[in-house]
A and B are shown apart, each in its own frame.
Chain A
Amino acid sequence: MMPVDEAGVVAAIQAATTPLRILGAGSKLPMLRPVQAPASLSTAGLTGITFYAPKELVLSARAGTPVADLVAATAAEGQHLIAEPPDWRRLLGTDAAGTLGGAVATNLSGPRRVAWGAMRDHVLGVRAVNGSGEVIRSGGRVLKNVTGLDLCKLLSGSHGTLAVMTEITLKVLPAPERRATLVLKGLAPVEAVAALAAALGSPYAVSAAAYLPATEAARIPALAWLGESVTLARLEDFAPSVAYRSDRLRADLASFGSAEMLDDAASLAAWADIGDVVPLIGQGDALWRVSVRPSLGPAVLAAAQAAFPAQAFLDWGGGLVWIAGPATVAAHDAVAAAATAAGGVWTLMRAPEALRAAVAVVPPEPAALARIGRQVKAAFDPRGLLNPGRIVAGV
């Protein structure tokens, strides 16, 4: 089913008697657990920007609006989507162009997340239809709002299991006038993460920080010429600030080696590819995303590499570890164990259905939290219609 308005979503849910697979364009279907449902309900028919007030930094659009349309609309006003939502079509092997609803429902953020917050941090308001077919709103169209429980955050990252979002309001910001990226070459992961910590802990508002081993760096055209592992810190601001801060950052990080600088165009290209996880496209049959304390990113990387032939790199200053490897339970267990040992969490991002159905795709929650989770699910979707089993089997 692909209704063209919210009333159609309400009607579809009210009429449903068996579970529904909830999707936007379907670009994220290869993620998490496969949903067993006889029918699908897509928001891809709900499109269009409904409100955009650049001077108020607020944009609303229907859930099925392609993210690319929002990127274009904000760019036309010299603004951008703050969390830099990535385009994972090639990574996940789909043609479907990701929608706003999908980006928010999966809370997926790009490299800027480390400094400026996740997708969920910029969701100001939502309209959604719960599992009983009731329209609920939370938040609104203003930047500051603490009225009632924050269901915007709860629905962000809930993967369509609680309610079907029909319209979303985001905070947007002016796009930077200039970008530059400082590159340190040839560092090992531990040193690299120390350099990134120094960069992120500097007063220069570093807006992205990543480490790519030589093999992975070679798969990004804007970085391949460097020929070694790369440690990258991005600055985004007015041109005079970027010039000044580049010099200061280079001086502050001098103990890690002499630095190259990527200019505006090269920075744009390199970070788009990092966000889109280009180095791991077509690598391995399974893909994991591990979030840990940044200083422990290298340990997770090393543990994965010790367990199987892993392709991997670090974003978010070391705190986000992308790992590609074989789609086996043993490899999955190794990643989960490494994440757990580092006090972090994992998500199985892509794998053949057999593995996704067989393992916990995210860490199991302690019993008390799992109980609350089931009760929250029932509070939105008492009939268990929406995306059952998408995150956790049986919920």
Chain B
Amino acid sequence: MIEQPEPKTDVLAKRDAIVAGLRHLLPASGVIAEPLRLKPYETDGLSAYRQVPLAVVLPETTEQVAAVMAFCHAQGVRVVPRGAGTSLSGGALPMADAVVLGLMRMNRILDIDYADRCAVVQAGVTNIGITQAVAQRQFFYAPDPSSQLACMIGGNVNMNSGGAHCLRYGVTANNLLGLKIVTVEGEILDIGGAYLDAAGYDWLGLLTGSEGQLAIVTEVTVRILRSPEGARAMLAAFTSNEIAGACVDSIIASGIIPVALEFMDRPAIHACEAFAHAGYPLDAEAMLIIEVEGSTAEQDDLLARIRDICAQHAPISLEVAKTAEQSLAIWKGRKGAFGAVGRISPDYLCMDGTIPTSQLPAVLRRIGEMSASYGLQVANIFHAGDGNLHPLIMFDANSAESFHKAEAFGADILRLCVEVGGCLTGEHGVGVEKRDLMGVQFTEIELDQQRRVKSAFDPGWLLNANKVFPLTAALRA
């Protein structure tokens, strides 16, 4: 279990008074303090780590959030913000002396403006909920994490989440216009709005990806985009990771930026095929799924160009979807990848480093060697266009030794990512999982600079203080 900040004994001692105080601020159903009902909040998408919180609050309005924050601030109580709890880095892991502030009841879409191409939604609206609300007018919200059915826009903002299509449309940060936030003191502030590029400091950019360290997000103004006329995928399989990597380079060098460019290695292909029966080539070492957009004729043109490029890399299989249904079939295996790996091994760690794309073959070779030496299987899924690598490390959760090995293996992979010029996390965030690896990527001076920025928002370190930054002596004491 990861080290937690020392619980504040005074807070634990006045637990009943804190709960009573919170009950004054919220409707009866909005405060949870019974041990059994706290249990569902003890973990998130990284279920290896668990901690039951002091209490959970589920406010319904920004004003209620502000009242809770002002109260917790006055009482010196730590707060852990939570969306849907799908974080894969333990970003929403509670602390024993903390109030979990869940945004899920703030799930209304407040405004949709097609002419100005934006929507205002509360933090607890799901990612897919935004696209569904605007789909009848052929609009969509671009960032599409695989967890989009469950994860919430407030969580997406705080993790700066990506998705399969961010090569073309960018990550969350590139698709936001404004936020409504509540400060740790309980003040309500509007950041940005339905316009581009606020004057003054880029608070919007700083808050995005801040992992609940700086403020509570209660409303988000997102950009919505008109959907393309259509999209279609193709599949290309190769005899080595090197060749597939070279093919990716050639596609980018040709001036084509596909909307999606996904890479799977041999273990990932096999896992997905066994699960989804998508017809993936089992004799391949590496496979690419490439998607393009536009009218049918434009798709044909782009797919033909990409096909020609792939053909120069001695593919063992090349399949261009002719219809939307064939496209779905190509995607079916990839979209089910997590479930597929889950079938081989119910327990796996999903890592999330980024590497320079040119380093892919070398990195996969090293990961293969580590897999052999740790005795743990790994399947690699890679957003090839942007270098975001997701090794899925399979382990046995019933064995503490197996879990520790998996953690050590994961840490070695992330160190490798940094060593080759990449970073610890491309989209899942630091959370608790990578907190103690931050020193691999940053100097102590750089970490202190970031800590001082957090302190500027949260001088008492009440917000999500067990995450992102290696614990300081002050938090340990």
Contacts and interface: CB of A to CB of B under 8 A. Distances in A.
A1 interface: no
B208 interface: yes
Given A142-B387, A158-B201, A343-B193, A197 B453 contact: no
A50 interface: no
Contact of B450 (A149, A175, A347): A149
A319 B355 CA distance: 37
A332 interface: no
Contact of A141 (B117, B194, B421): B421
B252 A55 contact: yes
A142 B455 contact: no
Contact of A379 (B116, B191, B203, B449): B449
Nearest to A108: B197
B310 to A, nearest CB: 16
A154 B229 contact: no
B208 A201 contact: no
Interface centre among A114, A201, A344, by most chain B C-beta atoms within 10 angstroms, is: A201
B455 A379 contact: yes
A317 to B, nearest CB: 8
A315 B191 CA distance: 22
A117 B209 CA distance: 17
B252 A157 contact: no
B382 to A, nearest CB: 11
A151 B449 contact: yes
B453 A177 contact: no
B319 interface: no
B354 A113 contact: no
B226 to A, nearest CB: 5
Interface string A188-204: 00000010010011110
A191 B226 CA distance: 20
B208 A365 contact: no
Contacts of A194: 115
B468 interface: yes
B295 A151 contact: no
Given A147-B425, A295-B115, A379-B453, A316 B196 contact: yes
Contact of A203 (B203, B209, B226): B226
B180 to A, nearest CB: 12
B354 A365 contact: no
Interface stretch (B169-177, B282-290, B364-372): B169-177
A137 B185 CA distance: 30
Contact of A320 (B191, B196, B453): B196
Contacts of B173: 121, 150, 153
Contacts of A76: none
B56 interface: no
A149 B213 contact: yes
Interface string B412-430: 0000000001111111111
Contact of A148 (B255, B426, B430): B430
Nearest to B229: A203
Task: Please classify how large the interface on chain A is, using the bins under 10, 10 to 19, 20 to 34, 35 or more.
Answer: 35 or more
A136 B445 contact: yes
B374 interface: no
A376 B456 contact: yes
Contacts of A320: 196
B390 to A, nearest CB: 11
A365 B189 CA distance: 10
A320 B252 CA distance: 32
B42 interface: no
A147 B201 contact: no
B318 interface: no
B369 to A, nearest CB: 23
Contacts of A58: 356
B327 interface: no
A372 B445 contact: no
B227 interface: yes
Nearest to B250: A55
A5 B452 CA distance: 27
Interface stretch (B71-79, B159-167, B336-344): B159-167
B218 interface: no
A57 interface: yes
Given A144-B171, A146-B425, A241 B301 contact: yes
B441 interface: yes
Interface in A16-40: none
A241 B294 contact: yes
Q: Which of B434, B449, B454 has the most CB of A within 10 A?
A: B449
Interface in B25-68: none
Interface in B195-226: 195-206, 208-210, 213-214, 226
Nearest to B214: A149
A11 B456 CA distance: 27
A200 B358 CA distance: 35
Given A150-B209, A362-B199, A144 B354 contact: yes
A363 interface: yes
Contacts of B455: 375, 379
B170 A121 contact: yes
A254 interface: no
A343 B195 contact: yes
Interface stretch (A179-187, A256-264, A275-283, A286-294): A286-294
Contact of A368 (B187, B256, B424, B428): B187
22 contacts: A54-B252, A55-B249, A56-B387, A109-B197, A117-B170, A138-B446, A142-B387, A142-B421, A142-B422, A143-B388, A146-B426, A146-B429, A147-B434, A147-B438, A149-B214, A150-B205, A174-B257, A175-B255, A197-B116, A203-B226, A295-B116, A375-B459
Given A174-B257, A368-B183, 17 more contacts: A53-B358, A55-B252, A109-B197, A114-B196, A142-B386, A152-B205, A153-B202, A156-B202, A157-B202, A173-B257, A240-B301, A244-B298, A291-B195, A293-B194, A295-B116, A362-B199, A375-B459
Interface of A: 53-58, 78, 107, 109, 113-114, 117-118, 120-121, 130, 134-138, 140-154, 156-158, 173-175, 177, 194, 197, 200-203, 205, 238, 240-241, 244, 291-295, 316, 319-320, 343-347, 362-363, 365-366, 368-369, 372-373, 375-376, 378-380, 391-392
